[in-house]
Structure 1
Amino acid sequence: MDTVAQHILWLFPMLWLGMVLAISFLEAPLKFRAPGVTLALGLGIGRLVFRALNIAETVLAGALVLAALVVVPAPGAWGWLVAAVAVLAAQLLLVRPPLTRRTDRVLAGEELPRSHAHFWYIGLEVVKVVALIGLAIAATP
């Protein structure tokens, strides 16, 4: 069991990292450049994609915490894991709700200026990327 849990500790951060890089830093900005994609359509797609991403991230975070409890990695690995999970929690609990409310308003037809919450979300994504790389390195057998 230790072996499986140990492998989870370096594999799952890289899987999570790949998902974040592909969705947040590639798909999200590019979808609005595609021909025919309106703001409403892009926001609707983004809502579905980020909901799925956040569910997958939550599952990966839970599996990583369980694996860490089995393996009891070095304190450095714990620090990176706590950082990644805390950033995800901040995104889900503090940043996503205002973004969701804003999206609801835009989809209802309101014209609103760009939200600063997007910048917070992006900043937290960068921190999460660093934490996931740190975790994978610290947990590598």
Structure 2
Amino acid sequence: MITLSAGIASAATFVWLGMVLAISFLEAPLKFGAPGVTIPIGLGIGRRVFRALNLSEAVLALAVIITVAVSAPPVAVIALTAVAAVVLAGQLAVVRPSLNRRSDAVLAGEDPALHRSRAHLYYVGLEVVKVAALIALGCTVLSG
């Protein structure tokens, strides 16, 4: 039988996972292919969407951390929770500021082809790590 804290942790984990998959791997790439969406318009929309996503992620991460902290989970649950939370923190504290500077420049009129940044690739790479950690965390919590 799954405990209340395990149920909350798994629900928050899978909601978090679904949001990341839907926004980062579905909405974001499709947006730039939509008719009439220029790079500046796509960046403006993307900044708002990712700001909301990251705020939601922080709330869900906090819910997972709290439910894990008040229970007696296996070491794997603690480690996977830490991986997901640290990746999110790294995205927010290290990568997002660089992405924001780049999008600020493009929105101010700089040619997007100039001074291409690798920050987007780092963000996507971290998203892949976070998705793997969330899948493993959700499954581990449910099986425990």
Cα gap change, 1:56 to 1:28, in 2 (>3 Å): same
User: Percent identity of the aligned residues?
Assistant: 56
Aligned pairs, how many? 140
Matched ranges for 1:1-141 at <5 A: 3-111=3-111, 112-140=114-142, 141=144
Please report the TM-score for the alignment, with normalisation by the length of structure 1.
Answer: 0.96
Q: CA deviation at 1:106?
A: 0.4
CA distance in 1, matches of 2:115, 2:98: 14
Cα deviations across residues 40-71 of structure 1 (Å, max 9, x unaligned)? 11000000000000000000000101000111
Structure 1: runs of 5 or more not aligned? none
Please report the TM-score for the alignment, with normalisation by the length of structure 2.
Answer: 0.94
Cα deviations across residues 69-123 of structure 1 (Å, max 9, x unaligned)? 1112100011100000000000000000000011000000011343200000000
SS at match of 1:36: coil
CA distance in 2, matches of 1:113, 1:105: 10
CA distance in 2, matches of 1:101, 1:129: 25
SS at match of 1:71: coil
Q: CA deviation at 1:4?
A: 2.5
Structure 2: runs of 5 or more not aligned? none
Runs of 4+ in 1 over 6 A off after TM superposition: none
